[in-house]
Amino acid sequence: MIRLYDYWRSSSSYRVRIGLNLLGLAYERVQVDLGTNEQAAVENLARNPQGIVPTLEIDSHQLTQSLAILEYLDEVYAAGWLPDPALARARVRALAMAVAMEIQPVCNLRVAQEAVAASGGTHALEGWMRDHIGPGLAAVEKMLDHPQTGRFCHGNTVSLADICLLPQVYNARRWGVDMAPLPRIRAVEKAMLALDAVQAAHPDTLAP
């Protein structure tokens, strides 16, 4: 029995849903409503001391941190999301982290709202998001200008990098980031959205 505690619009939750779906694993979804601050409730803190989502219940354990969860799934189910040799894995992990460490945490809704609140209204939420997502994705676009980029970020099969990139592109579109200067990223987005397993993980299909 696999149970995923997530939120439909959380991009780190979206990453884990993509992973589970790609592996064809059956799981129960339990929504932790970030809109009503359920992530800070005692029940969620007991399973996730950071008070965030996602948490994956699997193999009698509760795993946190989306990338740690995806590395676990890759190892246990031989998903193939981390290619050989070690240098290729380093490239894929760097791409994944260029999204997961440099863009997403700063555009986490809580952090962005704090920065906007601190500005007393002179900074709009859309501005903060665009100022950080746009340059962040531009750097990823440059990293994809590389001989090993294929239909996906690394070659022609899905890797950890694609699983992180797609949810960030969803957020970029949500906040009106100009995607025109990012053709390589748009190509990966298209290749990912063509997969049924990815479509089934999409936030819009899960919106309450």
Residues that bind a second copy (CB under 8 A): 49-52, 59, 61, 63-65, 67-69, 71-72, 75-76, 86-87, 89-91, 93-94, 96-98, 100-102, 104-106, 108, 111, 114-116, 118-120, 122-123, 128, 131-132, 136, 139, 142-143
Q: With contact defined as beta carbons under 8 Å apart, do 80 and 162 qualify?
A: no
The strand pairing partners of 63, in sequence order, are 56
Report in angstroms how near the CB of residue 204 gets to a second copy at its nearest.
25
The order of strands in the sheet holding 55-58 is 28-31, 3-6, 55-58, 61-64
Report in angstroms how near the CB of residue 45 gets to a second copy at its nearest.
8
Closer residue to a second copy, CB minimum distance, 139 or 193 = 139
Closer residue to a second copy, CB minimum distance, 21 or 48 = 48
Report in angstroms how near the CB of residue 90 gets to a second copy at its nearest.
4
Taking Cα atoms as reference points, which of 192, 159, 188, 185 lies closest to residue 84? Answer: 159
Closer residue to a second copy, CB minimum distance, 95 or 201 = 95
Closer residue to a second copy, CB minimum distance, 17 or 132 = 132
The two three-digit tokens of residue 58, written as one number: 């699997």
Report in angstroms how near the CB of residue 127 gets to a second copy at its nearest.
9
CA 31 to chain centre: 17
Closer residue to a second copy, CB minimum distance, 60 or 205 = 60
